[in-house]
Amino acid sequence: MRNPLSKTVQELAPSGIRRFFDVANTMDDVISLGVGEPDFDTPWHIREEGIYSLEQGRTFYTSNAGLAELKREISRYLKRRFQLPYTENEVLVTVGGSEAIDIAFRAMLDPGDEVIIPEPCFVSYFPCVKMAGGSPVRLALEEKDEFKLTKEKLMSVLTDKTKIVVLPFPNNPTGAIMTGEELRDIATIIRERDLFVVSDEIYSELSYQGDHVSIASLPGMAERTVVINGFSKSYAMTGWRLGYAAGPEEIIQQMIKVHQYVIMCAPTTSQYAAIEALRHGDEDVACMRESYDERRRFLVKELNDMGIPCFEPMGAFYVFPGIHRFGMTSEEFATSLLRQERVAVVPGSAFGECGEGYLRISYAYSIENLKLALGKIQNFIDTLL
């Protein structure tokens, strides 16, 4: 029999997170600090709107790009929160931010086109670029720069083939953010070199040092940026699978073409719930942000007190402490911690080679849970020293 598999897919490395998850999943009583989703339930008024849409029998496909009402609300939201100019025709509602990432690359890449992927980062960009036929180029960010993308770093990897720069901020797993000033430097290069940006802003509402700034709000950038966002992190709606892309109509129209062939439309119930989230959810977002911020401060202080140095993350819901002094790889550290103390954290190496020597610890947990886990991490460290 011939090999039934695609070489491209076979060559994709299995997700490091998956491997670790399989180990953790065989154990009982694991306290996890390993998830990338909110611990809050979706606010009730949003859930209730989803239920109501079902009661009304709104159980059909929507138009491919999403409900007109929802696209209008997304356009308004992007304007009022981040000063983005995209109209409702420049918005595509997707199955989570993940789908938007996938089809943005598929709509924009030809074989040989290079995409700069600053790491450590979310695990999907690299395989999505590969599957779209593009050439991913890893760019290692460093703790000394607070894991921000600098002008110098970006310049060092640009070639004639570079087409897209991925901007994953606020960042999973480091919690790094980019300020308006820092983005201006990057934007200058993007414009001068005639590049495009895929800006993954899924954590935009979880920024703890003033409001998030989108690179698309800078002069001359809206027309060369696809902004990816969604409802999962900001409104605690991961299971609803709803995200969106906003960008220049020329790109969004081609993305809609891909989307209509492979997805048809995002889940209808989720779309109705999302309208309610955008209209009446600001207060919920502010409340959750305040809770995350308190946990963030708590966790950073406790880790530093424990002798696990950790730069102060200003976004998302992760801290990314270094564990170099313990003389183990991050996978060894995380595996021993899991086996000895039943605490699950994610090895930094799962987010790119340059994440080696770090751990991703999520604070999408109650303070009580964090305390319990920190006590166990302390026990573990005591056995190492």
Partner 1 sequence: MLQEKILRNIARNSRISTEDLAAMLSASPEEIREAVAQMEKDGVICGYPTLINWDRIDAERVTALIELKVTPERGRGFDRAAARIYQFDEVESLYLMSGGGFDLTVIVHGRSMKEVARFVATKLAPMDDIESTATHFVLKKYKEYGLSLGQRKTRDERQLITP
CA-CA distance, 167 to 173, in Å (whole number)? 13
Looking at 5-13, 26-34, 42-50, 157-165, which segment touches partner 1 (CB under 8 A)? 26-34
Any residues with CB less than 8 A from the CB of 248 and at least 6 apart, and which?
90, 222, 223, 224, 226
Least distance in Å: CB of 174 to partner 1? Answer: 14
Residue 315 touches partner 1, criterion: CB under 8 A: no
Give the distance between the most distant pair of CA atoms in the chain.
62
- Per the DSSP assignment, residues forming a β-bridge with 92 are 245
* Interaction residues for partner 1, span 32-61 (CB under 8 A): 32, 34-37, 39
* Interaction residues for partner 1, span 332-371 (CB under 8 A): 344, 346, 350, 367, 371
Strand-pair category, 343-344 with 346-347: unpaired
Burial of 72 (0-12, 13-18, 19+ CB in 10 A): middle
- Residue closer to partner 1, measured from CB, 196 or 351: 351
Least distance in Å: CB of 298 to partner 1? Answer: 4
Least distance in Å: CB of 187 to partner 1? Answer: 28
Q: Please identify which residue in 25, 56, 59, 383 interacts with partner 1, judged by CB under 8 A.
A: 25
Distances (CA, A) of 213 to 75, 150, 198: 16, 16, 14
* Interaction residues for partner 1, span 220-249 (CB under 8 A): none
- Residue closer to partner 1, measured from CB, 121 or 178: 121
Residue 157 CB neighbours (<10 A)? 16
- Residue closer to partner 1, measured from CB, 89 or 124: 124
Looking at 45-53, 59-67, 75-83, 288-296, which segment touches partner 1 (CB under 8 A)? 288-296
- Residue closer to partner 1, measured from CB, 223 or 293: 293
Residue 17 touches partner 1, criterion: CB under 8 A: yes
Burial of 328 (0-12, 13-18, 19+ CB in 10 A): middle
CA-CA distance, 347 to 16, in Å (whole number)? 8
- Residue closer to partner 1, measured from CB, 123 or 177: 123
Residue with tokens 């414009």: 191
Q: Please identify which residue in 250, 294, 332, 353 interacts with partner 1, judged by CB under 8 A.
A: 294
- Residue closer to partner 1, measured from CB, 15 or 87: 15
- Residue closer to partner 1, measured from CB, 226 or 350: 350
CA-CA distance, 269 to 60, in Å (whole number)? 9
- Per the DSSP assignment, residues forming a β-bridge with 126 are none
Cα-based angle 83, 66, 108 (whole degrees, multiple of 5):
70
Residue 124 touches partner 1, criterion: CB under 8 A: yes
- Residue closer to partner 1, measured from CB, 82 or 363: 363
Cα-based angle 314, 364, 276 (whole degrees, multiple of 5):
90
Looking at 67-75, 122-130, 143-151, 265-273, which segment touches partner 1 (CB under 8 A)? 122-130
- Residue numbers at the binding site for partner 1 (CB under 8 A): 15, 17, 20-21, 24-25, 30, 32, 34-37, 39, 122-124, 172, 290, 294-295, 297-298, 301-302, 344, 346, 350, 367, 371
